[in-house]
Structure formats: C-alpha cells, structure tokens
Structure 1
Amino acid sequence: MPIPRRLLQASVLGLALLLVVPNVLAQASELFSLKNRWEHVTTHNSPDDQVDTLKALAGEAEALSQQYPDNADVLTWQGIILASLASAEGGLGALGPAKEARAALERAIEIDPRGSNASAYVTLGALYARAPGWPIAFGDSETAEAMFQKALEIRPQGIDVNYYYASFLAEEGRTEQAIEHARRAVKGQVREGREDSDEARREDARALLESLE
C-alpha cells in the first residue's frame, strides 16, 4: 500500500527537524557561553588583563562564525569580541582586530539589519569613532554618526547606545547633545543577559555626565 502524501510529508518534516534542532541548540549554547565569558572579562578585569582571554574568545568566535557563516547573531558577537580586543590592546596592535570586527559586523547587518537589538550598529559606531583615519585605518566621524543614529532608531533608550554616542559627541565638542545622551544612558534599562555590561556603561555615563556639566 502506498504511503499517503500527508504522512510522507510529515515524516520528511520530522526528519528535517531532528537534523536541524540539535545544530540550533548547539549554536545557541556555544554563543551563550561566549557572551557570558565576554561579559565577565570586560566588566571584572582591567584592559591589560583582558587581552589573553579576549584573544581566546576571538578564536572561538571565528570557529563559530565559520560553522554558522550566515548567522547574524554569531557574526555580531564575533565583531563585539574583536572590538573589545582592539580596545584592550590599543596602539597599532588594535588595527588588525578592529578591521576584522568591522568586517564581521558589516556582514551581520547585511544579513539582519535589526539583529542583536542594534548591537552591531553600536559597536560599528564606536569602532569608526575610535579608529585612526585614512591612511592608517578606517576611522570616520560621519560614518560613526550614521551608525549611532541607526542604533538609536532601533533602541532609543539603550544604555550602551546612548553612552557610546554621548562619548562620541563629547569628543566632537558637541557638549549639549553629549549631556542629553549621557542622561539617557543613566536612566536607561538594562537588558536581560547584559546586566553587568549595561550597569558598567551606566557608571561610565555618570562619570561622563559629571565631567560635562
């Protein structure tokens, strides 16, 4: 007796789910681990003590991005980790990870412009704001501004969005705007799973606000 089409379709779908679900769960578990370890090292260690751990995390993130090359969240976190490594290393040693971070974040935005709740745009804005300009690197204040504005469209009350934008505005001499966004950062709500880093940025925003007022 031939198998009914609906039963055959259900069987094929069930088999597909059995193959896909373990991969999805594995990817989520690995990414969760990366996020947690990044959160810990960047909020509990000094920049000098962050470098070795961030290098190891960057290696893991690279392996994960090769395994899931079209996953925007994976690419965003690869970019975040590399950007943190660039910040911790400083100087000319920061240029390599900063450029790698930019590439990963731009790819993440291509896949999902609103992915990771605007984290890719925030990190790109900070990279463009801090990196040296041409011919040494890719720093550009107009591009930084555009990235921060994109992030604000998605998450206008975000602590990190407003803190990094306020810091950029202060560097640009736009004090009144910097004060406005620093205040927003101080009043912002922390994100689930990002409590430590958001509270750290809130404290940074308070310090920035005190220096500006």
Structure 2
Amino acid sequence: MKKIFACLLMGALSANVWALDAADQQRLTGIQQSWAHIQYEVPADQRTAAFEQLAVQASAFTRERQSVAEAWIWSGIVTSSWAGAKGGLGALSKVKDAKVDLEKALALDPKALQGSAYTSLGALYDRVPGWPIGFGDADKAEQLLKQALQLNPNGIDSLYFWGDHLYRQKRYSEARGALQKALQADPRPGRETADVGRRKEIQALLVDVNKKLD
C-alpha cells in the first residue's frame, strides 16, 4: 500500500476566509518545500520519520490558524503522504485524518490553492481501499477530481491525478490526453523540486498508458 497514498499537490494561493499574512505565507512555503524534498529526494526508508516530523509542523499550523484553508490542505497532504510512506493497514487511520483535514479546508474555502483540496481528496478516494476496509470510491473520486479541474484546468497536479484516475478506470486514450496536457503545465516558481518529481511520475504513468494502447 506504499504507493496508494503517495499523492499530492501544489498550487498558487487564493483569497480565503482568513487571508494569509507574510509570516503565514512563509510558513506555508516552508511546509510545501519540505514535503517536496521528502517525497522526491529523501530515501524511501527515511520518509516515514521525516513525514512524521513535518506532520507535527503542519498540525501546529492548523491549530494556530484554524480559519485558514491552506493550512488544512497541507496538513491533509502531509498526513496522507506519511500514511503512504508508512504503508499497511495501520496507515488507514492517518488517511482518515487526512480526509477530515481536507474536508475542513473545503468547508472553509473550496477555491483555496486553486482547488487543491478537491484534488487531494479525490486522489484519496481513488487510492484508499473501498468498504469494508476503507472509504475508497471511484465515483466520488471522479466527482471531486472534476471539480478540481473546473478550478484549475491546466494545473500539473489536477491533470496528473485526473489522468491517473482515467488510467485506473481503463480509459486509456483519455488518460494519455490528460497526462500529455499535464506535461505542458507552466512551471511553478518556488516549486521546482515538486515540478521535477511530478513530471517524472507523469512520464512513468504515460509509459504504462501507452503500453495499454499499443
């Protein structure tokens, strides 16, 4: 299950119930960059501990800025990534915590981070086992991922997870189109590590998609 929860996103900030000040923005950027470093540069056997430490920081952010949707989004992202690094059925409790955080973000501001809560939550519904083990639901995943695309139709993450969903649904031609479009997404200033890592994931998935279409 280590690959099941290895998700998640980036994006530009939007207006929110509680606008981020300069200190909050710096804090958020630090969490984003730390996540990318752990996800894409830290050896796999060290990621669980690293994500656990980052989760403490992300959780503190939500406690201190309870009305900031961006803080809840990144708490959900970090927690789900921690679950992915940990793996096994024991990770499901963390995934459920991530789901709660992302739902909280949607309740505060669904447009925050260009709809990243929709993308992250959709990815969880796609990857988590279904009932009775977990809450996975392909139909719910599709609904959420479509909402994400409405807010961010050209984003590398929204398109990647949409393409991955289409691949899982055996809609290979559609998946290839979405993934090829994802590779054309504009670079995100300050998110270079995340962009490089995500592009590698897209390219790897495209190899699998193309094998299905050959």
Calculate the TM-score normalised by the size of structure 1: 0.84
- Give the Å deviation of 1:150: 0.8
Once residues 43 and 94 of structure 1 are traced to their aligned partners in structure 2, the CA distance between those partners, rounded to angstroms, is 20
Q: Is the 8 A contact 1:190 1:199 kept in 2?
A: no
1:169-184 aligned within 5 A: 169-184=166-181
Q: Indicate the residue corresponding to 1:39 in structure 2.
A: 36
Once residues 156 and 198 of structure 1 are traced to their aligned partners in structure 2, the CA distance between those partners, rounded to angstroms, is 17
Output the amino acid matched with 2:122: G
Find the residue that maps to 1:139 and give its secondary structure.
coil
Query: Which 4+ residue blocks in structure 1 deviate beyond 6 angstroms?
Result: none
Q: Is the 8 A contact 1:31 1:74 kept in 2?
A: yes
1:159-198 aligned within 5 A: 159-198=156-195
Find the residue that maps to 1:193 and give its secondary structure.
coil
Output the amino acid matched with 1:107: K
State the Cα deviation string for residues 105-130 of structure 1 (Å, max 9, x = none): 11101111110122111111111100
Task: Identify which range, 177-186 or 27-36, moves more after superposition.
Answer: 27-36
Once residues 140 and 112 of structure 1 are traced to their aligned partners in structure 2, the CA distance between those partners, rounded to angstroms, is 23
- Give the Å deviation of 1:190: 2.2
Instruction: Give the number of the structure whose residues are more often helix, by fraction.
Output: 1
Once residues 26 and 98 of structure 1 are traced to their aligned partners in structure 2, the CA distance between those partners, rounded to angstroms, is 28
- Unmatched segments (≥5 aa) in structure 2: 1-18
- Give the Å deviation of 1:204: 1.4
Once residues 100 and 156 of structure 1 are traced to their aligned partners in structure 2, the CA distance between those partners, rounded to angstroms, is 28
- Give the Å deviation of 1:170: 0.9
Output the amino acid matched with 1:117: Q
- Judging changes above 3 Å, is the alpha-carbon distance between structure 1 residues 46 and 181 closer, same or farther for their aligned structure 2 residues? farther
For the pair shown, which has the larger CA radius of gyration, 1 or 2?
A: 1
Matched, 1:52 2:45: no
- Unmatched segments (≥5 aa) in structure 1: 1-20
